[in-house]
Amino acid sequence: MTAFVLPSSVTVVDHPLVRHKMGLLRDVRTPTALFRLLARELSLLLTYEATRNLALETVEIDTPLEPMQAERLSGKKLCFVSILRAGNGILDGMLDLVPSARVGHVGLFRDPQTLRPVEYYLKLPDDLVNRDCIVVDPMLATGHSAVAAIDSVKKAGAKNVVFVCLLAAPEGVECLTQAHPDVKVVTCAVDRGLDDHGYIRPGLGDAGDRLFGTK
């Protein structure tokens, strides 16, 4: 078997705080409320990396002591697109950091036999062509749902797309980067691989069930 090589388009955020919080997130003993809080905190840290290349402009402001040149965001506005339902578990943390962002939703469920995504809901801003787009889902497992969601946002006009997840598998990374080589991926970790049921190992279980207490 060929060894997996992480593509240059994938950024693993390996800050000590991220690694610490991911260890807590993975732990089977972590209760729902703490799992949800950790996912929200991790989403903040991931958003810093995902928005690293946002354009800035210089503006004149007055501090309490004197005028100065300060920097503010400029250019295209952001849109976060959550893959339902688990994507909402990290969406709120991202909105804490960028409250002015527009929000879209893609509803997908995985066919248990084929493991392929089936779209049941799609609601995106009308002006997606004028916005940088960050698609969010806690897990990048087979990669099929991520690819389908990115297909939809690109079809709606998005030109610059980033995919953000808490955890990825090599199979998902390869699937996404082959289908969308222009899309940057930001994640906390890339695990060993998938089991026969399409779950990431060692992973953290079903992110949606752990976020919403439905396990």
Q: Which residues form the domain of 181?
A: 10-212
Q: Which of 62, 114, 126, 196 is catalytic?
A: 114
Strand boundaries in the chain, DSSP class E: 10-12, 56-62, 67-73, 77-84, 102-110, 117-123, 131-136, 139-140, 161-164, 167-168, 184-187, 189-190, 193-194, 200-201
Q: Is 132 annotated as a binding residue?
A: no
Answer whether residue 168 is part of any domain: yes
Q: Is 110 annotated as a binding residue?
A: yes
Q: Round to the nearest angstrom and report the end-to-end CA distance of the chain.
A: 34
Percent of the chain with pLDDT over 70: 98
> What is the spatial distance between Cα 207 and Cα 205, in angstroms, rounded to a whole number?
6
pLDDT over 90 (residue 201): yes
**114 or 71: which leads in pLDDT:** 71
Q: Is 20 annotated as a binding residue?
A: no
Answer whether residue 51 is part of any domain: yes
pLDDT over 60 (residue 68): yes
Structure tokens of 46?
Answer: 């991931």
Q: Is 110 a catalytic residue?
A: yes
> Going by C-beta distance under 8 Å and a sequence separation of 6 or more, which residues neighbour residue 9?
177, 181, 182, 183, 184, 185
What is the total count of domains within the chain? Answer: 1
pLDDT over 90 (residue 214): no
Q: Is 52 a catalytic residue?
A: no
Q: Which of 40, 92, 110, 151 is catalytic?
A: 110
In this prediction, residue 5 has a pLDDT band, given cuts at 50, 70 and 90, of confident
Encode pLDDT of 6-29 as tens digits: 989 999 999 999 999 999 999 999
Average pLDDT of every residue of the chain: 92
In this prediction, residue 166 has a pLDDT band, given cuts at 50, 70 and 90, of very high
**57 or 110: which leads in pLDDT:** 57
pLDDT over 50 (residue 1): no
Answer whether residue 85 is part of any domain: yes
Structure tokens of 114?
Answer: 């084929």
In whole angstroms, what separates CA 65 from the centre of its chain? 41
Answer whether residue 78 is part of any domain: yes
Q: Is 209 a catalytic residue?
A: yes
In this prediction, residue 50 has a pLDDT band, given cuts at 50, 70 and 90, of very high
Q: Is 85 annotated as a binding residue?
A: yes
Answer whether residue 1 is part of any domain: no
Q: Is 36 a catalytic residue?
A: no
If you average pLDDT over residues 164-192, what whole number do you get? 96
The per-residue pLDDT for 77 is 86
The per-residue pLDDT for 115 is 65
The per-residue pLDDT for 3 is 75
Answer whether residue 135 is part of any domain: yes
Q: Is 182 annotated as a binding residue?
A: no
The per-residue pLDDT for 137 is 95
Answer whether residue 203 is part of any domain: yes
Q: Is 139 annotated as a binding residue?
A: yes
Answer whether residue 39 is part of any domain: yes
- 202: CATH: 3.40.50.2020
